[in-house]
Amino acid sequence: MNGPKHKLCTKLSSTYLRKWWITIAIASILIVGGVLVACEFSVLINAIVDRMVALRPGAKTFGWWAKPPVEPHISLYIYNVTNADDFLSNGSKAIVDEVGPYVYSESWEKVNIVENDNGTLSYNLRKIYSFREDLSVGPEDDVVIVPNIPMLSATSQSKHAARFLRLAMASIMDILKIKPFVQVSVGQLLWGYEDPLLKLAKDVVPKEQKLPYEEFGLLYGKNGTSSDRVTVNTGVDDIEKYGIIDQYNGRTHLPHWTTDECNHLNGTDGSIFPPHIDHDRVLHVYDKDLCRLMPLVFEKEVMTSNEVPGYRFTPPEWVFADVESHPDNMCFCPAGQPSCSPNGLFNVSLCQYDSPIMLSFPHFYLGDESLRTQVEGISPPEKEKHQFFLDVQPKMGTTLRVRARIQINLAVSQVFDIKQVANFPDIIFPILWFEEGIDSLPNEVTDLMRFAEQVPPKIRVALIVGLFALGVALLLLSTFCLIRNSHRQSTLHLEGSNYLATAQVDMNKKQNKDTQPARY
Assigned domain for 500 exists: no
Smallest CA-to-CA distance from 44 within 403, 368, 459 is with 459
**What is the reported pLDDT for 36?**
64
**pLDDT per position as a tens digit, 176-196:** 888 999 999 999 999 999 888
CA distance 5 to 280: 71
Cβ atoms within 10 A of the Cβ of 517, count?
5
**pLDDT per position as a tens digit, 148-167:** 998 898 888 777 777 777 78
Q: Are residues 224 and 132 in the same domain?
A: yes
Q: When comparing pLDDT for 364 and 484, which is higher?
A: 364
Assigned domain for 227 exists: yes
CA dihedral 37, 42, 47, 53 (to 10 degrees): 140
Q: Is the pLDDT of residue 59 over 60?
A: yes
Assigned domain for 191 exists: yes
Mean pLDDT of 92-116: 94
Smallest CA-to-CA distance from 188 within 82, 78, 74 is with 78
Assigned domain for 314 exists: yes
Smallest CA-to-CA distance from 263 within 272, 279, 251, 273 is with 251
Assigned domain for 510 exists: no
Q: Are residues 43 and 80 in the same domain?
A: no
500 Cβ contact list (under 8 Å, min separation 6): 1, 4, 5
Per-residue DSSP letters for 450-509?
A: HHHHHHHHHHHHHHHHHHHHHHHHHHHHHHHHHHHHHHHHHHHHHHHHHHHHHHHHHHHH
Q: Are residues 31 and 161 in the same domain?
A: no
Q: Are residues 343 and 483 in the same domain?
A: no
CA distance 500 to 490: 15
Q: Are residues 386 and 465 in the same domain?
A: no
- pLDDT band with cut points at 50, 70 and 90 for residue 11: very low
Assigned domain for 27 exists: yes
Assigned domain for 6 exists: no
As beta bridge partners, residue 108 has 127
In this structure, are residues 119 and 242 in contact, taking their beta carbons and an 8 Å threshold? no
**What is the reported pLDDT for 354?**
79
Q: Are residues 465 and 436 in the same domain?
A: no
Q: Are residues 28 and 85 in the same domain?
A: no
User: Which range of residues forms the domain containing residue 472?
Assistant: 20-51+461-489
Q: Are residues 435 and 465 in the same domain?
A: no
**What is the reported pLDDT for 335?**
78
CA distance 34 to 122: 45
Structural domain tally of the chain? 2
Q: Is the pLDDT of residue 1 over 70?
A: no
Q: Are residues 396 and 475 in the same domain?
A: no
286 φ, ψ (degrees, to nearest 5): -115, 130
Assigned domain for 3 exists: no
Q: Are residues 477 and 329 in the same domain?
A: no
- pLDDT band with cut points at 50, 70 and 90 for residue 413: confident
Claim: this prediction has a pTM higher than 0.85: no
Task: Work out the end-to-end distance of the chain between its first and last CA atoms, rounded to an integer number of angstroms.
Answer: 38
**What is the reported pLDDT for 203?**
66
Q: Are residues 387 and 478 in the same domain?
A: no
- Encode 316-379 in three state secondary structure: CCCCCCCCCCCHHHHHHCCCCHHHCCCCCCEECHHHCCCCCEEEECHHHCCCCHHHHCCCECCC
CA distance 340 to 338: 6
**What is the reported pLDDT for 357?**
92
Q: Are residues 27 and 74 in the same domain?
A: no
